[in-house]
Amino acid sequence: MTEAPFVDTLMKLGMGKGPALALLLAGPGLSLPNMLAIGKLFGVKRTVVYVATIVVLSTLAGIIYGEVVV
């Protein structure tokens, strides 16, 4: 998981906990190799829905965590 050191560095530079959570949630699911594999297995339409769902839910989780929990 290469995202953790990047997020750690960004948090040391001032990134909030909510956006950091969203980046950690969305990173592995939105990598190019992952999207290509999902596209081959399930087709383009389902891949677009998958990517959109990951983006929306990760963003909502980051907003909720950043505003409500922290």
> What is the domain partition of the chain in residue ranges?
3-69
Residue 2's pLDDT is what? 80
* Cα distances (Å, whole numbers) of residue 13 to 3, 46, 57: 15, 37, 25
Q: What is the pTM of this model?
A: 0.82
Look-up: residue for tokens 């929306």? 56
Per-residue tens of pLDDT for the chain, all 70 residues: 688 999 999 999 999 999 999 999 998 889 999 999 999 999 999 999 999 999 999 999 999 999 998 7
Residue 20: HSE in the Cβ half-sphere, 13 Å Cα cutoff: 15
Helix spans in 15-43 (H) = 17-29, 32-42
